[in-house]
């Protein structure tokens, strides 16, 4: 039966059909659904988990592979940075059962803090990389990756991009292959990477790469489509789909499915038959640089951008010189619609207070990054997961006590579990005096509600032990820990002021669940009464339900947007906002 499947779901299906035994990941757009879909397969067949971060996830999968099972770990591009420590040495150890790292890049940065090109990791860690171009290939390549992994004794990288991960196309479903977990075999020379062993394993890695390169010259992942043209196009992944739509059968194609290592023989033979060869790839000139190093004359980034996503019309213009379709242009500039915190978001109370106090906010990765958007505009920095805590320590150490008394870190519950803990250890150990706000909304929010070690539930929704944030911080050595509700803005402000004034590390746990959680039930909606003096203080909340009527200057609440959370009621100094029950 053919089924319309998300690329991510098809990766999960491919791993399932390949008989995968264990999948461990940390959520990250655009990769999250792979692991969520994995958890829909029977738990007798595959163990699936959310790990606290990508490094842990990768190590869990590597362990499963060494122990003889087929294992996979999935992440977004920046998650691969966190995994990298395991990745580079796993390349040396090779595998027991098949081992697959699936990484999803985000050209155009739909939901990311940078636009890095993960293909560089394949070359740097010397790990073969497959790149599917649609959902069917997601299934096929992932499935094949496990066999390749065992055949060549190497982990395999599968690279996706947002438009492959989050596009649905047709997939013919297959049956699960039976691959029993192999018997565990102790092998010190292969799995203990101390210098004497690693020196020998590096030799194996180089020999292996030569073998995979030979495979690249003649395998079903790389296909040539000869349309008898003078023009050749070398492409891979989603860029191939754009090229194919733009250029049809007017050019010849070399579609690469195995994007590292590349076969010199294959590339040279293809290029020799064409007068002009274009390399069409989003982000960095990865294939282009390899072609040039092989002495193949190609056209690439001098004509195409290194920034963002490509489109078929942009390719058509460059290669064929044809203009894009005619369209009706907009005759006025119109307001953008940036993402905002939802109505009822618990973070709104936190950032309202931080904005009011005018403190410096060391931010982190999650929904609360939106605290940087006007009118809250309360966040100063966002770098990577966990940096809110550790970067604030660095800020305080160079700027001194006075600065530190007006500096806070904000980090979500899941992000704190991911890599905030170690930063807090550093602060305590090195006599820091920072104030850390853990925004505990009872879920991993931005990626669409995944459970984490603080929620008390596994990926399959089963009850499990729950990390106690208070005890955890106590164990690290933090003596000042306060739990406060960010919707009780008066008390919350008092708590933040008190903790900023102390000369020791303190943690404030801002506790209120995400408004989108099913068990959170706000009712009715808020209304502005005649007591309103148009002071516009409520407008500082940046609530999507509250706006000002241009003509009358009156504040109004849109009942279709308001969920009755009541934050504005507590903020209004004149008691002019009331709750209207439905």
Minimum Å distance from CB 138 to other proteins?
Answer: 13
Residue with tokens 């931005």: 446
Of 430 and 560, which CB lies nearer to other proteins in the complex structure? 560
Minimum Å distance from CB 458 to other proteins?
Answer: 22
Of 365 and 404, which CB lies nearer to other proteins in the complex structure? 365
Minimum Å distance from CB 420 to other proteins?
Answer: 20
Nearest to 444 by CA among 343, 388, 514: 514
**CA distances from residue 547 to 15, 336, 457, 514, 556 in whole angstroms, order as listed:** 49, 16, 38, 23, 6
Minimum Å distance from CB 5 to other proteins?
Answer: 10
Q: Which residues pair with 438 in a beta bridge?
A: 411, 509
Name every residue whose Cβ is closer than 8 Å to that of residue 239 and which is 6 or more positions away in sequence.
280, 281, 282, 310
Nearest to 52 by CA among 412, 416, 422: 416
Of 533 and 536, which CB lies nearer to other proteins in the complex structure? 536
- Positions in the binding site for other proteins (CB under 8 A): 2, 4, 6, 29-30, 32-33, 110-111, 134, 163, 166-170, 238, 241-242, 244-246, 309, 311-313, 324-330, 332, 334-342, 367, 369-370, 373-375, 446-448, 539, 542, 544, 546-548, 550, 558, 560-561
Pairing of strands 258-260, 129-130: antiparallel
Of 101 and 242, which CB lies nearer to other proteins in the complex structure? 242
Of 102 and 148, which CB lies nearer to other proteins in the complex structure? 102
Minimum Å distance from CB 6 to other proteins?
Answer: 7
Minimum Å distance from CB 340 to other proteins?
Answer: 4
Of 366 and 453, which CB lies nearer to other proteins in the complex structure? 366
Q: Which residues pair with 411 in a beta bridge?
A: 438
Q: How far apart (Å, rounded) are the C-alpha atoms in residues 149 and 70?
A: 10
Q: How far apart (Å, rounded) are the C-alpha atoms in residues 92 and 202?
A: 6
Q: How far apart (Å, rounded) are the C-alpha atoms in residues 67 and 83?
A: 19
Q: How far apart (Å, rounded) are the C-alpha atoms in residues 259 and 270?
A: 15
Minimum Å distance from CB 205 to other proteins?
Answer: 35
Q: How far apart (Å, rounded) are the C-alpha atoms in residues 37 and 21?
A: 14
Q: How far apart (Å, rounded) are the C-alpha atoms in residues 385 and 78?
A: 9
Minimum Å distance from CB 89 to other proteins?
Answer: 31
Of 188 and 330, which CB lies nearer to other proteins in the complex structure? 330
C-beta of residue 54 within 8 angstroms of C-beta of residue 82 = yes
Q: How far apart (Å, rounded) are the C-alpha atoms in residues 347 and 369?
A: 10
Q: How far apart (Å, rounded) are the C-alpha atoms in residues 158 and 151?
A: 16
- Token pair listed for 483: 């739990």
Of 30 and 432, which CB lies nearer to other proteins in the complex structure? 30
Nearest to 95 by CA among 7, 178, 204, 16: 204
Minimum Å distance from CB 344 to other proteins?
Answer: 12
Of 68 and 237, which CB lies nearer to other proteins in the complex structure? 237
């Amino acid at each position: 039966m053919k089924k319309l499947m998300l690329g991510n779901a098809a990766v999960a299906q491919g791993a399932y059909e390949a008989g995968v035994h264990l999948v461990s990941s940390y959520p990250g757009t655009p990769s999250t659904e792979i692991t969520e879909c994995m958890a829909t397969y029977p738990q007798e067949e595959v163990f699936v988990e959310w790990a606290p971060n990508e490094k842990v996830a990768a190590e869990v999968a590597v362990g499963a592979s060494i122990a003889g099972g087929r294992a996979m770990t999935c992440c977004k591009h920046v998650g691969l940075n966190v995994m990298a420590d395991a990745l580079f040495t796993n390349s040396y150890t090779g595998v027991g059962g098949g081992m697959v790292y699936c990484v999803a890049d985000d050209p155009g940065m739909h939901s990311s803090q940078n636009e890095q090109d993960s293909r560089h990791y394949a070359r740097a860690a010397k790990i073969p990389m497959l790149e599917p171009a649609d959902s069917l290939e997601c299934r096929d390549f992932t499935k094949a990756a496990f066999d390749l992994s065992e055949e060549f004794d190497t982990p395999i990288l599968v690279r996706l991009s947002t438009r492959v991960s989050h596009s649905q196309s047709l997939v013919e479903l297959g049956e699960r292959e039976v691959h029993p977990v192999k018997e565990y075999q102790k092998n010190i020379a292969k799995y203990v990477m101390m210098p004497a062993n690693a020196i020998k394993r590096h030799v194996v890695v180089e020999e292996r790469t030569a073998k995979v390169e030979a495979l690249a010259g003649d395998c079903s992942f790389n296909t040539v489509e000869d349309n008898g043209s003078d023009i050749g196009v070398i492409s891979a992944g989603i860029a191939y789909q754009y090229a194919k739509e733009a250029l049809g059968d007017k050019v010849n194609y070399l579609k690469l499915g195995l994007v590292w290592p590349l076969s010199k023989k294959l590339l040279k033979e293809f290029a020799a038959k064409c007068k002009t060869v274009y390399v069409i790839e989003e982000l960095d000139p990865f294939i282009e640089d390899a072609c040039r190093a092989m002495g193949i004359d190609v056209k690439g980034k001098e004509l195409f951008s290194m920034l963002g996503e490509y489109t078929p019309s942009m390719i058509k213009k460059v290669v064929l010189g044809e203009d894009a379709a005619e369209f009706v242009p907009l005759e006025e500039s119109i307001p953008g619609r940036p993402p905002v915190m939802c109505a009822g978001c618990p973070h709104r109370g936190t950032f309202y207070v931080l904005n009011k106090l005018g403190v410096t906010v060391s931010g982190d990765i999650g929904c609360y990054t939106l605290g940087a958007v006007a009118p809250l505009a309360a966040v100063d920095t966002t770098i990577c997961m966990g940096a809110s805590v550790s970067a604030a320590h660095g800020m305080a150490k160079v700027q001194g006590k006075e600065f530190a008394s007006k500096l806070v870190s904000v980090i979500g519950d899941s992000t704190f579990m991911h890599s905030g803990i170690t930063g807090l250890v550093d602060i305590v150990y090195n006599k820091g005096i920072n104030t850390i706000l853990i925004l505990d909304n009872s879920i991993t929010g931005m990626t669409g509600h995944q459970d984490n070690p603080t929620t008390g539930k596994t990926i399959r929704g089963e009850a499990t032990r729950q990390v106690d944030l208070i005890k955890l911080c106590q164990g690290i050595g933090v003596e000042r820990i306060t739990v406060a509700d960010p919707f009780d803005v008066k008390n919350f402000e008092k708590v933040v002021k008190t903790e900023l004034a102390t000369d020791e590390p303190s943690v404030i746990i801002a506790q209120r669940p995400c408004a989108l959680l099913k068990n959170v039930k706000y009712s009715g909606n808020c209304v502005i009464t005649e007591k309103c003096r148009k002071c516009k203080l409520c407008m500082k909340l940046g609530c999507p339900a509250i706006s000002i009527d241009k003509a009358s200057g009156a504040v109004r609440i849109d009942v279709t947007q308001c969920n009755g959370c009541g934050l504005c009621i507590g903020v209004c100094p004149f008691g002019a906002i009331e709750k209207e029950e439905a």
